């Protein structure tokens, strides 16, 4: 035993120092102290000397830069340079275009939770709240989604006029240029509310306020361009669109075949230097009605009119609709969701150089401009749309599940329906937190490249799952389209959000971890930049600092991951209250595990990692769920940690950590170098996988919460349009829930008495008459049951049509018929 003690002391000191991230010299001092103490207490002297020699051999060359840099750092730099995958200009631009916020802590293995929790609570200004409660509420009341999606396949003229007059297209345009000057958070709130009544309206408002001419002009436009266009965009005199995607350039936008040749041409009667464009674009939202088109193209100067560069690169220009050679106006029809979307074609479309966004100085800078602005748009429009639909689905379908009865029970009481309701509640809670967190990051001035891809992918995926579960619960009510149906169009449109602004398959497998591993990692970007320095001394010095910081970080995360796995994340410092502290500890564990997996993958696979898309996708899932769980905990604190929200938070959190372990398990079981995968399994899962999907008991609590009027349900519904009205069947159903709950005891009493009686009346009114005469119910209770019957009928009824009503307005026009009027709801 005395022989083992010195080596045991060495290992314990190393583990302690690594866990707490102490400096190497501190580890050496702690180890030396333990060895001396052990020797005094009778440890074997020879073993103690051997252990001391080991410590010296490790410490001396690493602590002394005179030895470390020439004999260790320089050879490793040479090896690293060979290992480092070549970065194209496109990839480098994408990596350098974003900022890093709290998501960077999730790669640290030891997140600084106070950095997250101390962020200001996202709040609207009084002016923003007034707009949300005023014009935005009014727009929701005016919106008849059935009229939009079936009768007109467009917004009615009065909605277009109202949107323009109230500057919905200028939410984020500064006031000095005629806009409303609202924050990104307000943009999120508006889109979320509109999406809860109509995704066509939310898309129509969302696109001009995300990636488009206005956003690009605000960041890069010349003062003249801003003065000319921003006021007209804000009040709707100009309707914008942005033409990026084409038949041969979708997710791979850098392969744009559309081109512009620098040449002389005529513009407004004068001969000027400009670009002659040839373009073929498709899937362009608002294109059919746009008056100002932003175009991405590759710019060439074959005659050297601007200088020696022939291939100038991707550039962005503003093209008025009436420019000769531009063909625009036809429409696509995306899955029965008739937001304005269509192709744009152009041949020999001449515009002057002054139409380049930012002017001639920004020629060739288009890809960087797009990357810097795309994350802002991706952070808001699609996640907010998914959040609005999910939250509305949760409260409306929860109400429906209480109102709708089968076999004498509310359908929400059946365990199969409870499972679906619980998934709806958990996904809506997570989606809401994620979309708000990412919008709040933009509002703080960040350019959240990685969170925007996480939000786009996971919000749209959660929104799709919510729509599917809603349809399963609604049954026939969901599949019969008409004015009474509030879920069918959302279900049909769900794949659209999955596809646009970066297809989800590509986003998950290439972008989330691909960008996150470099941008968010505390050392990787520093190593890459150091390795590319021209000055040899600066190159060695900076690489030395980054490399050994990285090595210490990797060792620490391996120890922390193993320790948290060994102890089940039950020990360790963490913020939070008695309910949430254990959640933060679990996230500490998975942060360390992600860091270990990322470092190992990058070290052993090098440039091949970006082709291992399944591995990248799974590690991206880990990063994503860490970010989603963090967003939920942050919002829970911001709301005052309400006890009533615990079932929703617990369900969503356990779902997240179960997905984390599923992703880690898949990555380890399929790691390309199998022995490394086995070893990492012992580090990350020393006792095997422990996380489980949310329990049935927890799911029952969430389902009951959605079917019961309560504060937690009201908080979940915050920000969506629940005002009952002729055009808002979901809002009517939501408003019925308190009355239904109050009437249930009377209904049970009446039905029990009716069942035990010999009354032969079959009509409901006659049964009520008998009930009053027999004294089962009072006259007031009769009115309550009559109201309950009317409520139930309105909730469960579906529409039917004269065949002529199902003919579209377009069909009627083409065949010389007047379109049939809409049937009353």
Return the ∠ at Cα 382 (arms to 437 and 485), rounded to 5°.
115
Partnered with residue 265 across adjacent β-strands are 272
Partnered with residue 293 across adjacent β-strands are 241, 319
Residue 575 tokens, joined: 């913020």
215 catalytic? Reply is: no
d(CA 527, CA 75): 14
d(CA 351, CA 263): 10
Buried b (16+ CB within 10 A) or exposed e, 368-388: bbbbbbbbbbbbbbbbbbbbb
- The residue count of the chain comes to 825
The residues, ordered by sequence, that sit 6+ positions from 235 with a Cβ below 8 Å of its Cβ are 164, 165, 167, 169, 170, 178
Give backbone dihedrals phi and psi of 344, rounded to 5 degrees, phi first: -135, 130
**What is the Rg, in whole angstroms, of the alpha carbon atoms belonging to the chain?**
31
Identified catalytic residue from 128, 501, 527, 661: 501
DSSP annotation string for 21-59: T--HHHHHHHHHHHHHHHHHTT--HHHHHHHHHHHHHHH
d(CA 180, CA 285): 23
d(CA 396, CA 471): 12
d(CA 728, CA 734): 10
Helix (H, G, I), strand (E, B) or coil at 440: helix
DSSP annotation string for 741-767: HHHHHHHHHHHHHHHTS-----SHHHH
d(CA 504, CA 461): 8
Pairing of strands 341-352, 311-320: unpaired
The residue to which tokens 């979708």 are assigned? 250
d(CA 651, CA 424): 11
Residue 343 tokens, joined: 């192709």
The residues, ordered by sequence, that sit 6+ positions from 269 with a Cβ below 8 Å of its Cβ are none
Residues annotated as part of the active site = 501
């Amino acid at each position: 035993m005395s022989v083992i003690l010195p080596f045991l002391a060495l290992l314990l000191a190393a583990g302690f120092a690594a866990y707490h991230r102490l400096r190497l010299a501190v580890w050496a001092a702690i180890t030396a102290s333990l060895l001396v103490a052990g020797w005094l207490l009778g440890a074997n002297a020879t073993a103690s000397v051997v252990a001391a020699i080991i410590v010296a051999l490790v410490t001396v060359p690493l602590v002394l830069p005179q030895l470390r840099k020439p004999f260790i750092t320089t050879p490793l730099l040479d090896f690293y340079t060979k290992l480092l995958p070549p970065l194209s200009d496109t990839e480098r631009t994408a990596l350098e275009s974003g900022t890093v916020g709290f998501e960077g802590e999730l790669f640290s293995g030891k997140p600084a939770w106070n950095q997250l929790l101390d962020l200001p609570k996202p709040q609207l200004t009084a002016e923003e709240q007034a707009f949300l409660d005023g014009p935005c509420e009014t727009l929701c009341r005016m919106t008849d989604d059935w009229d939009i999606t079936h009768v007109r396949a467009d917004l009615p003229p009065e909605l277009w006029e109202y949107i323009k007059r109230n500057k919905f297209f200028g939410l984020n345009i500064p006031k000095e240029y005629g806009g409303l000057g609202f924050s990104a958070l307000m943009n999120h709130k508006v889109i979320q509310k509109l999406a809860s009544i109509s995704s066509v309206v939310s898309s129509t408002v969302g696109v001009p306020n995300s990636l488009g001419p206005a956003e690009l002009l605000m960041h890069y436009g010349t003062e003249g361009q801003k003065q000319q266009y921003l006021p007209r965009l804000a009040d709707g005199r100009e309707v914008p669109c942005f033409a990026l995607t084409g038949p041969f350039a979708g997710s791979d936008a850098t392969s744009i075949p559309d081109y512009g040749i620098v040449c002389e041409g005529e513009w407004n009667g004068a001969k000027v230097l400009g670009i002659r464009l040839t373009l073929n674009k498709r899937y362009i939202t608002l294109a059919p009605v746009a008056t100002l088109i932003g175009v991405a193209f590759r710019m060439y100067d074959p005659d050297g009119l601007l200088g020696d560069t022939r291939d100038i690169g991707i550039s962005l220009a503003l093209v008025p609709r009436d420019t000769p050679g531009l063909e625009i106006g036809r429409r696509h029809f995306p899955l029965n969701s008739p937001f304005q979307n269509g192709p744009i074609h152009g041949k020999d479309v001449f515009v002057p150089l002054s139409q380049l966004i930012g002017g001639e100085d920004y020629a060739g800078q288009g890809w960087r401009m797009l990357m810097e602005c795309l994350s802002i748009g991706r952070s808001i429009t699609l996640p907010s749309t998914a959040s609005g639909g999910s939250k509305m689905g949760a409260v409306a379908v929860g109400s429906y599940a209480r109102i709708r009865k089968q076999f004498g029970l509310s359908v929400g009481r059946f365990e199969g329906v409870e499972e679906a309701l619980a998934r709806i509640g958990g996904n809506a809670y997570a989606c809401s937190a994620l979309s708000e967190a990412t919008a709040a990051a933009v509002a703080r001035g960040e350019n959240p490249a990685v969170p925007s891809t996480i939000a786009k992918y996971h919000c749209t995926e959660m929104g799709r799952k919510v729509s599917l579960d809603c349809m399963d619960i609604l049954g026939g009510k969901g599949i019969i389209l008409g004015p009474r149906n509030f879920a069918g169009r959302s279900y049909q449109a769900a794949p659209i959000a999955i596809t646009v602004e970066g297809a989800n398959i590509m986003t998950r497998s290439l972008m989330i971890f691909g960008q996150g591993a470099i941008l968010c990692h505390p050392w990787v970007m520093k190593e890459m930049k150091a390795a590319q320095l021209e000055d040899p001394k600066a190159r060695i010095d900076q690489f030395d600092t980054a490399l050994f910081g990285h090595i210490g970080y990797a060792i620490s995360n391996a120890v922390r991951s193993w320790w948290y796995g060994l102890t089940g994340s039950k020990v360790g410092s963490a913020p939070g209250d008695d309910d949430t502290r254990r959640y933060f500890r679990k996230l500490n564990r998975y942060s360390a595990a992600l860091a270990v997996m990322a470092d190992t993958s990058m070290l052993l696979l090098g440039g091949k990692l970006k082709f291992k898309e399944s591995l990248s996708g799974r590690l991206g899932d880990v990063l994503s769920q860490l970010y989603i769980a963090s967003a939920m905990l942050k919002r829970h604190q911001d709301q005052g940690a309400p006890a009533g929200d615990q079932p929703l938070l617990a369900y969503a959190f356990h779902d997240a950590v179960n997905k984390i372990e599923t992703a880690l398990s898949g990555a380890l079981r399929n790691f390309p170098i199998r022995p490394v995968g086995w070893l990492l399994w012992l580090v990350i899962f020393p006792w095997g996988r422990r996380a489980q999907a949310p329990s049935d008991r927890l799911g029952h609590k969430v389902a009951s919460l959605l079917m019961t009027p309560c504060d937690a349900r009201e908080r979940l519904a915050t920000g969506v349009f629940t005002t009952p009205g002729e055009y808002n069947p979901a809002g009517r159903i939501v408003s019925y829930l308190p009355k239904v709950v109050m009437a249930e005891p009377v209904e049970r009493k009446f039905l029990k008495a009716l069942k035990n009686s010999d009354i032969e009346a079959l009509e409901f009114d006659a049964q009520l008459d008998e009930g009053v005469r027999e004294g089962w119910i009072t006259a007031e209770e009769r009115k309550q049951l009559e109201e309950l019957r009317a409520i139930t009928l309105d909730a469960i009824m579906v529409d039917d049509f004269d065949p002529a009503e199902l003919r579209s307005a377009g069909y009627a026009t083409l065949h010389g018929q007047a379109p049939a009027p809409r049937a009353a709801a």
